[in-house]
Amino acid sequence: MKNIEDWLAHLEGLHPKGQAGIELGLDRIRRVKDVLGQTQHCPVIIVGGTNGKGSTCAYLENIIDRAGYKVGCYTSPHLLAYNERVRLNGRSVSDEALCAAFARVEAARQQAGDVALTYFEFGTLAAWEVFAAAGVEAAILEVGLGGRLDAVNAYEPDVSIVTTIALDHTDWLGPDRESIGFEKAGIYRAGKPALCADPNPPQSLLDHAAAIGADLRLIGRDFGFERPSAETNENRLQWRWWCRSGQQVLKRALAYPGLRGPIQLYNASVVLAALDAIGDRLPVTMQAIRPGLIETELSGRFQVIPGKPAIVLDVGHNPQAIKVLADNLSSMGFFNRTHVVLGMLNDKDIAGALQALKGKVDTWHLATLDGPRGTSAETLAGIISAAGLGGEVVCYPSAEVAMQAAKGQAAESDRILAFGSFYTVAGALVALRKKS
């Protein structure tokens, strides 16, 4: 195989469902990992959770980079190019580096008995090959689905983070927060720092951490944040992070993170607590933390595109994420009309997720998403009508066409929100780049 497109087609061809193929379990990846002889040569941070994983990884990556280390970060899915998933010091790796890693994984896969790796498993092994070849001094691995049986859990974390626990992927992870909490807690390890940024963690997560003897650290108990009080003359442009350290409580005043929305204080707090927990192996200073938090950017996480009309891109696709999105929209100020570009996958709780936007949308520009998991625009229109969400509804064949239409209709005093899936935001970005 000569180029990245050939390799990605090969990865898709290994599983009957291609890129969408999900097959949980660690046996396949461990067999190929052993043949590759992969060893862990640096601190590893594994990040799981329903929402907030991408933001948390981005903060970690930026701070560790600014502290002067060579840092590798593996996240998914990507928006426009596969290379976005594998980064070295914040930059997507080259096609050449990825192709070389894919070739090594393929050789090992065949040597291990022609193991039928999924797209994500193959990519996870290749990411580690890239990191090893580059000699990274820290590796951040984002869970793809769940935690306990996810491919990244074949690696041994020095610290594990669970951001939030909410209903998503219930076909795979179970019907309630207790089931999902147990799966997420599977990335915790005996004797290692195990952090949770959900203010109300399921009992299953607490029980599993206790059962294996993990060093569990909870937001609100072991670390957290304080906003400035209206009753005092505190600096309103700062928040305070705190963390228990032995008998003491450390406190640091910080400028607000670069990513938008109140939920980011939870993500930033767990990042700082995680870095504190492995400070003996990977020390970082406030000189790295301050700009690392402020200057973090992440495509598609309440990303506001400058100009008029205002354009917001968000990959949120489950009820918890879209509730946060709705709250963030409410704090944006006044806009004459709100246009929504929406495309979603059919394994999501679409009706439940969209409830948070009831009565807040003037025009729904609905996009059909392709592939076996895609939902047609007409199906979305039926759901919106049945739920009584209000607003005019128009259907389009793709997210790109829907965004072009929204741009054509929106006045300067309006705003456009594109959300519901990575595929929706990717299509919207393609349309915006063509326009520019």
Q: Which of 108, 68, 61, 116 is nearest to 88 (CA)?
A: 61
Mean pLDDT of 282-309: 93
Chosen domain end from 275, 294, 313: 294
The rounded mean pLDDT for the chain is 92
The answer to whether the beta carbons of residues 119 and 11 sit under 8 Å apart is yes
The torsion of the CA quartet 419, 425, 428, 430, rounded to 10 degrees, works out to: 180
CA–CA distance, 276 with 195 (Å, rounded to integer): 11
CB-based burial of residue 221 (10 Å sphere; 0-12 exposed, 13-18 middle, 19+ buried)? exposed
pLDDT score recorded for residue 171: 63
- Read off the CATH number of the domain in which 83 is found: 3.40.1190.10
66 with 138, same domain: the answer is yes
9 with 131, same domain: the answer is yes
**Confidence band, pLDDT 50/70/90 cuts, at residue 129:** very high
Q: Which of 399, 395, 407 is nearest to 428 (CA)?
A: 399
Three-class SS state of 288: helix
Give per-residue pLDDT as tens, 103-124.
999 999 999 999 989 999 999 9
Q: Which of 292, 229, 277 is nearest to 57 (CA)?
A: 292
Strands across the sheet containing 238-245: 223-226, 238-245, 248-255
pLDDT score recorded for residue 21: 58
pLDDT score recorded for residue 10: 92
Whether pLDDT at 168 is above 70: no
Strand partners for 341 = 365, 418
Q: Which of 382, 373, 403 is nearest to 312 (CA)?
A: 403
Q: Which of 210, 221, 209 is nearest to 162 (CA)?
A: 209
How many residues in the chain? 436
The rounded radius of gyration (Å) of the Cα atoms in the chain is 22
Chosen domain end from 269, 294, 319: 294
pLDDT score recorded for residue 210: 98
Whether pLDDT at 7 is above 80: yes
CA–CA distance, 345 with 301 (Å, rounded to integer): 18
Q: Which of 360, 336, 331 is nearest to 419 (CA)?
A: 360
Chosen domain end from 240, 272, 294: 294
156 with 288, same domain: the answer is yes
134 with 200, same domain: the answer is yes
159 with 55, same domain: the answer is yes
Residue 326's domain spans which residues?
A: 303-435
Whether pLDDT at 233 is above 60: no
275 with 340, same domain: the answer is no
CA–CA distance, 219 with 273 (Å, rounded to integer): 9
97 with 129, same domain: the answer is yes
Mean pLDDT of 368-372: 90
> How many domains is the chain built from?
2
Which is higher by pLDDT, 296 or 261? 296
CB atoms within 10 A of CB 133: 14
Look at 156-170, 290-304, 327-341, 418-432 and tell me which has the smallest mean pLDDT: 156-170
79 with 178, same domain: the answer is yes
Strands across the sheet containing 415-419: 303-305, 310-314, 415-419, 338-342, 363-367, 392-396
The answer to whether the beta carbons of residues 249 and 242 sit under 8 Å apart is yes
229 with 358, same domain: the answer is no
Q: Which of 435, 436, 401, 424 is nearest to 80 (CA)?
A: 424
pLDDT score recorded for residue 16: 61
pLDDT score recorded for residue 247: 79
pLDDT score recorded for residue 390: 94
pLDDT score recorded for residue 274: 98
pLDDT score recorded for residue 236: 72
- Read off the CATH number of the domain in which 389 is found: 3.90.190.20
Which is higher by pLDDT, 56 or 433? 56
121 with 243, same domain: the answer is yes
Q: What percent of the chain has pLDDT over 90?
A: 79
316 with 268, same domain: the answer is no
Give per-residue pLDDT as tens, 315-357.
998 888 899 899 999 988 899 999 999 999 988 889 999 999 9
50 with 149, same domain: the answer is yes
pLDDT score recorded for residue 44: 98
